[in-house]
């Protein structure tokens, strides 16, 4: 890694950590969401440094552009107010600490994995070009890619079913009529 990309990485990593930290400690959910957007953007920058522009763009488009917009939309729509800091609760603080240490251990192990194993020969070498990703998606991974559409369809149905105003069954109205 050249010094330039090291510096770029450090800046992006600091921004990402700052965003994540403020996301947790902000007292207002909207602020948290905006810090999360900052975190996503910094993460996308790190992906760019890893010569994976496609993933970086997808990160921006999907997380910052779609999911967070939805989050913010709902928060503002419901006018969610100030929340108590989850770290205020003493018991939760310990639980959070333990969870954080465990997750940290997992991430450390993931990081230590770097260089520990050699990737198989058929894995894509960087830079990950979008054409190659397309070939793999529609070739090797055609089946899961197509089935993912069913998954999304099911999720969409769920949104419609749950959001739809409840219709009353015929038997109910009949019963009511009979009672009258």
Partner 1 sequence: MATLQPELKANGRISFGSLLGLAVGLLVLVAAVGFGLHVLQAIPSSEWWRQGPSLTNLVRLYLVEWPASWHGGDWGVWNFLRPGRGAVPVITAILSWTIVIFGFMLPMVTYQIYALRKILGFMQARVGPTQVGPLGLLQTPCDVLKLLTKEDVIPTKADRWVFFAAPFMVLVPASMAYLVIPFGNQKIVDGAVRYSLVCGDLNIGVLYLSAISSVAVIGIISAGWASNNKYSLLGAMRSAAQLVTYEVPLSLALLAPVVWAGTLNLSQFAADQGSVWGWYCWPNLLTIPIFVVSALAELGHTPFDLAEAESELVAGYNVEYSGMKFAMFFLAEFSNAFILSAVAVTLLFGGWQSPFPESWGPLGWDAGIFGMFWFFAKTLAMIFGLFWVRATLPRMRIDQLMGLGWKFMIPLGLANLLLVAVLRVLVG
Partner 2 sequence: MYQVPDVHLLTFLPFVAVVLTGLVTMVLSAFGTEEQQARLPRIGLLGLAVSGIALLLAGTARTNSSFGGMLNMDGTAVWFHIVFLITTALTVALAADHFKDLGAEHREIYALLLFACMGMMLMAAAGNLVVLFIGLETMSVALYIMAAMGGRRQESSNEAALKYLLLGAFATGFLVYGMALLYGATGSLAVATISDTVAAGSAHVGYLAIGLALLTIGLGFKVALVPFHMWAPDVYEGSPTVVTAFMAVGPKLAGFAAMWRILHDAALPAQQQWMPVLAVLAVVTMLVGNLAALTQTNIKRLLAYSSIAHAGYIALGVMAGNQTGLQGVLYYAATYAFLSLAAFTVVLIANGDTNEQLHIDELRGLGKRAPLAAASLTVALVGMAGIPPLSGFLGKYLLFSAAVQSGHVAVAAIGVLCSVISVYYYFRLIVLMYMQPPVEGAQQIEITGYTKCALVATLVGTIILSLPIGWPIVLMAGWCAV
For the chain, the straight-line distance linking the first and the last C-alpha, in angstroms and rounded, comes to 81
In the complex, the smallest distance separating the C-beta of residue 3 from partner 2, rounded to whole angstroms, is: 28
For partner 2, the closer CB: 2 or 166: 166
Q: Is residue 82 a contact residue for partner 1 (CB under 8 A)?
A: no
Instruction: Say which entry of partner 2, partner 1, none residue 14 contacts (CB below 5 to 8 A, set by partner kind).
Output: none
DSSP H or E run through 18: helix 3-25
Which residues make Cβ contacts (< 8 Å) with residue 116, sequence separation at least 6? none
Angle between the N-to-C axes of helices 29-49 and 68-78, in degrees from 0 to 180, rounded to the nearest 10 = 170
Contact partner, 1, from partner 1, partner 2, none, Cβ < 5-8 Å per class = none
Residues 109-168 that bind partner 1 (CB under 8 A): 129-130
Which one, of 10, 70, 65, lies nearest residue 42 by Cα? 10
Site residues (vs partner 2, CB under 8 A):
106, 109-110, 113, 116-120, 123, 135, 138-144, 147-148, 150-151, 153-155, 157-158, 160-162, 166-172
């Amino acid at each position: 890694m050249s010094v330039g990309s090291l510096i770029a990485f450090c800046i992006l990593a600091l921004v990402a950590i700052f965003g994540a930290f403020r996301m947790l400690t902000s007292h207002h959910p909207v602020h948290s969401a905006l810090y999360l957007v900052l975190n996503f953007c910094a993460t996308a920058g790190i992906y760019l440094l890893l010569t994976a522009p496609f993933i970086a763009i997808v990160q921006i488009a999907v997380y910052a552009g779609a999911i967070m917009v939805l989050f913010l939309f709902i928060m503002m729509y419901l006018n969610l107010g100030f929340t108590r800091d989850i770290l205020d609760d003493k018991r939760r603080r310990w639980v959070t600490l333990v969870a954080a240490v465990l997750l940290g251990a997992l991430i450390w192990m993931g990081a230590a994995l770097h260089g520990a194993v050699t990737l198989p020969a058929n894995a894509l070498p960087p830079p990950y070009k979008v054409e190659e990703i397309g070939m793999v998606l529609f070739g090797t991974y055609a089946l899961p890619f197509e089935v993912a559409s069913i998954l999304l369809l099911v999720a969409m149905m769920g949104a419609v079913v749950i959001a739809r105003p409840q219709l009353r069954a015929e038997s109910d109205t009949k019963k009511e009529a009979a009672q009258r």
